[in-house]
């Protein structure tokens, strides 16, 4: 039973446009949500996070939105750049010790 779902295996976006990556979760006990970016042959790198007490967090070109009632979060990248092409993982934290990851979405930004 996947508690964190990323239903789009891949997404293709034109350079300069907005990329929107989506994530749904089922466990209402999750209190912290994170996005990681992963390039081939490298470990995931932390991108941005949001606490369950907020509905938006921004960091430069990256914004994460949280809709607790819908159990849905999204990552917006504006403007998208070719270097953003990677696998993006959504993760949720039921406690400070653990992360539960989604299956990932492959983002391709075309120049």
Q: Does 60 bind other proteins (CB under 8 A)?
A: no
Q: Does 53 bind other proteins (CB under 8 A)?
A: no
Q: Does 96 bind other proteins (CB under 8 A)?
A: yes
DSSP one-letter string for 13-62: EETTS-EEEEEEE--TT--EEEEEEE-TTS--EEEEEEETT-SEEEETTE
Among 51, 56, 81, 110, binds other proteins (CB under 8 A): 51
Structure tokens at 43: 């470990």
Give me the residue label for tokens 């350079």: 15
Q: Which is nearer to other proteins, 57 or 74 (CB)?
A: 57
Q: Does 70 bind other proteins (CB under 8 A)?
A: no
CB of 16 to other proteins, least distance (A): 27
């Amino acid at each position: 039973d996947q508690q964190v779902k990323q239903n789009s295996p891949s997404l293709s976006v034109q350079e300069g446009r907005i990329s929107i990556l989506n994530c749904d979760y089922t466990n209402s006990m999750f209190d912290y949500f994170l996005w990681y970016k992963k390039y081939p042959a490298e470990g995931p790198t932390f991108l941005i996070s949001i606490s369950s007490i907020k509905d938006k967090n921004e960091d430069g070109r990256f914004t994460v939105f949280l809709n607790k009632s819908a159990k849905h979060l999204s990552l917006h990248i504006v403007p998208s750049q070719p270097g953003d092409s990677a696998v993006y993982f959504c993760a949720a934290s039921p406690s400070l010790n653990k992360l539960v990851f989604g299956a990932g979405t492959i983002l391709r930004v075309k120049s």
